[in-house]
Amino acid sequence: MRRAALAALTLTAFLSTSGFASAAATRPFAPAAATSPALSQRPVNQREDRAALSAYASYLDALLTNKPAERLQEQVFAAAIANSCKHALEPIATVSSVPSGWSTALTNIGTEIGADATVEFADATQASFDKLATALGALKWASASANATVKRFLAAQATFVLLQPSNLCGDALDVASETNLQTIASPPGTLDFLGQYDTDSSSVNLRLNAFLKLLGAWETSSEQNLVIKIDSLARKVNVLTTTTIANGTTELKAALGIPSLTGNQPKVLSR
């Protein structure tokens, strides 16, 4: 059976970016497991597989339908930052030569901005994810390991959806208030937030891969059109999320008064 490619998408799979440069991540549908499941289990798990694929398609469609709310979430957050610490980093924009220590701190702040834009987008998708979680949580797979795979995926996803944004104003003001530019360090709040962000997003990506392998193991030729539909929806959502988060990032940088600021992909940061 020919397997259709499935562009897998979750709240962090499309957020492998800090919101500055890289595009949203897409992943191929995982191939079937090397060892086929027992024949006695196939009818049961094939029903669950189709139900899971249908729920996933509905989830992606809901993300597209929810576009206005997702965009509004970014705008409201940027407005709140502007209201609390408008142009906090503006003095930095006029410095002709930024010392290395300060440059590192600013890069981390830039990464924090992108991660915050990501978190705000994720928050706007919570209702859509809750429906997906309800649908997937009701399925009873034929093996304990399959049920555990789905539960771990949903738990990791829920953790990321509930991740709170950083104290961006406090961190930006910490950087702007430093007088010794040679020794400035990244604010502890920035490092803590980015460390948590990386942990949670890495967990979702890991659990997503396992979930897709489960679906791939039970895919049948009758589900091929559904898989193709999911692929199409996921690619559209990738475009939507990349654009929305990039716009949110731009608005946050403008609110802080440093539109040219850049950042790295969030990662675990050593102290």
Instruction: Tell me the per-residue pLDDT of 123-170, one tens digit each, with 9 for 90 and over.
Output: 999 999 999 999 999 998 888 999 999 999 999 999 999 999 999 999
Overall domain count for the chain: 1
Kindly state whether residue 8 falls inside one of the protein's structural domains.
no
Kindly state whether residue 264 falls inside one of the protein's structural domains.
no
Backbone angles phi, psi at 155, to 5 degrees: -65, -40
Distance separating the N- and C-terminal Cα atoms of the chain: 50
Taking the CB of residue 206, how many other CB atoms lie within 10 A of it?
Answer: 13
Kindly state whether residue 53 falls inside one of the protein's structural domains.
yes
pTM across the whole model: 0.79
Kindly state whether residue 6 falls inside one of the protein's structural domains.
no
Kindly state whether residue 4 falls inside one of the protein's structural domains.
no
The residue assigned the tokens 């300060």 is 102
Task: Give CA–CA dist 183/99, Å, rounded.
Answer: 9
**CB burial readout 124-145, b (16+ within 10 A) else e:** bbeebbeebbebbeebebbeee
Residue numbers of the domain that contains 87: 13-256
**Does residue 219 contact residue 227 with C-beta atoms inside 8 Å?**
yes
Percent of the chain with pLDDT over 70: 74
Kindly state whether residue 101 falls inside one of the protein's structural domains.
yes
Kindly state whether residue 262 falls inside one of the protein's structural domains.
no
Q: What is the pLDDT of residues 240-259, one digit of tens each?
A: 999 999 999 999 999 999 87
Kindly state whether residue 233 falls inside one of the protein's structural domains.
yes
